[in-house]
Structure 1
Amino acid sequence: MSDETFTTLGTRERGLAAAAGFRSRPSLLQFLLLFAFGALVVQTLIVVEARPQDLITGVSGMADLLARATPPDWSRLPDALWPALETVDIAIFGTVFAVLLAAPLAILAAANVTPARPFYYLARGIIALTRAVPDLVWALLFVTAVGLGPFPGALALAVHSVGMLGRLFAEVVEDMDMGPVEALTTTGASRLQVFTHAVLPGVLPSLLGISLYRFDENLRSSLVLGFVGAGGIGFQLLTAMNLFQYRTVSLLLIIVFVLVMSAERISALLRARVA
């Protein structure tokens, strides 16, 4: 090789090395982002009044509480079976009726299949409203309207789930393959025929999977809704805690664990079948 070639190679290598060194050095933007993240964490610790030392000194109290909660009071198991069934049925009711209400809303809220823009904005508004209000607030409203019991809890889960399912359903419909829809539309098929023969077959597996995931969430939420008088095992758990019946509390927590794990396993099996 000539001296000129060596000089050219040396210049290129120095340029690559300089570029690599430039990339390895943090830029001003990266430094500012890191500083902003650190400041965010610090203000979070201040606002939540984090005191790790209190957690360490409170270990003995937690251990005493656990000691009083063992062994579980298995004699209360027959009395807990009906509230457990209520909890499961609340989740089923909330999921099934949410799917029935969210499906048509999702069709209207999907930009690629909505019949008109006013329907699109109306459906999106309803979905946003039902999703923005927490299920606990819905439960309080329905308890006021229909009284205590599992029915207001089921209604609260159904209304709140409409917002969550409606948004996810609409996104699935918007991401679907529009080829079959366009093919049926060009043949003069009606909107109902397009929906049943093109839209529904393309999105049904995804919708079923999302619905099963939502059932998992509703089962957990139904436990919390019992704290405001919406029935289920959550109400029994709150009552036992207020009466300092910690052995009963531990029994109810075991039942909750079994319910949640069973629901997760069944949902996983069903999702595998429809995938």
Structure 2
Amino acid sequence: MSKVVEMRVPAGSSGVCTIWSVCAAVVVFALFVQAWIVVQARPQDLVTGAHGMADIISRALPPAFDQFVPNLWPVLETIDLAIFGTVFGVILAFPLAILAAANVTPARPLYYAARAVIGVTRAVPDLVWALLFVTAVGLGPFPGALALAVHSVGMLGRLFAEVVEDMDMGPVEALTLTGAGRLQVLSHAVVPGVLPSLLGIGLFRFDENLRSSLVLGFVGAGGIGFQLLTAMNLFQYQTVSFLLIATFVLVACAERVSAWLRGLVK
């Protein structure tokens, strides 16, 4: 005979849950209100300023498609900024991730040192890195590429370290018991176990770097961003609209290529 088990909820539990739900809703609402006040939100300004936006849009049409050939080089610069930053970010982030992973790091001081480097490079925005490198090496795409590489070290280093910490330690322990050295364990157990995940993360980072490279041009780091800023300063709105279209096409194509490559490495 089957037995029916009755689940009894304590009498006051539903009331406690309701009180906590109300308190949480009040806190969320209070946070939104203070954010509304701090940012000085004025929705009515959107209505009164709509004619200004309409005027700019009308001046931007039709897009200046005759700027296609002159802007091929900035487009190439933008793509190469993302490639340079991603490749060097991966190369520098992987050894840092090995040191920053608690399960494979050779020593605790190295663990804390690697975590500190990853934290600093990740905490400083890539735009700030670009400003620093522009001051150091001058205008052009090189400071932008350096900024993307340094910031990618922080972002990739943290993600790589988490992947290594979550990996299956069985192969590592098996090789260690056979007397294999650290380099042998790294090359035959750690790398094969995490390589697909690392490649996927690296491709995601390339996608992010491509978007970031567009913004870095605003501080003189080359690419489409610099051309876009120049056109806006010269009130060449038709060129601006063309560059925006080119940016959209570039990002969309990069997303599709990145998704295709991630599908291959899974």
TM-score (norm 2): 0.95
How many residue pairs match? The answer is: 263
Distance 1:184 1:49, change over 3 A: same
How do 1:91-170 residues align onto structure 2 when only pairs under 5 Å count?
91-170=82-161
Cα shift readout 1:56-97 (whole Å, capped 9, x = no counterpart): 222221111111101111111111110000000000000000
Q: Structure 1: which amino acid aligns with 2:50?
A: V
Higher helix proportion: 1
Q: Distance in 2 between matches of 1:45 and 1:184?
A: 58
Deviation at 1:269, TM superposition (A): 0.3
Q: Structure 2: which amino acid aligns with 1:138?
A: W
Distance 1:18 1:102, change over 3 A: closer
Q: In structure 1, the residue corresponding to 2:168 is in which secondary structure?
A: coil
Partner of 1:243: 234
Q: Pick one of 198, 207, 217 that aligns with 1:226.
A: 217
Q: In structure 1, the residue corresponding to 2:68 is in which secondary structure?
A: helix
User: Percent of pairs identical after alignment?
Assistant: 73
Q: Distance in 2 between matches of 1:36 and 1:58?
A: 33
Q: Distance in 2 between matches of 1:163 and 1:26?
A: 41
Deviation at 1:26, TM superposition (A): 4.7
Partner of 2:204: 213
Q: Distance in 2 between matches of 1:52 and 1:250?
A: 26
TM-score (norm 1): 0.92
Deviation at 1:22, TM superposition (A): 5.3
Q: Is 1:47 equivalent to 2:45 in the alignment?
A: no
Q: Structure 2: which amino acid aligns with 1:268?
A: A
Q: Runs of 5+ in structure 2 lacking a partner?
A: none
Cα shift readout 1:215-267 (whole Å, capped 9, x = no counterpart): 00000000000000001110000000000000000110111011100110000
Q: Distance in 1 between matches of 2:9 and 2:81?
A: 64
Q: Runs of 5+ in structure 1 lacking a partner?
A: 1-8
Distance 1:18 1:167, change over 3 A: closer
Q: Distance in 1 between matches of 2:17 and 2:237?
A: 54
Q: Distance in 1 between matches of 2:9 and 2:162?
A: 46
Q: In structure 2, the residue corresponding to 1:184 is in which secondary structure?
A: helix
Deviation at 1:27, TM superposition (A): 3.1
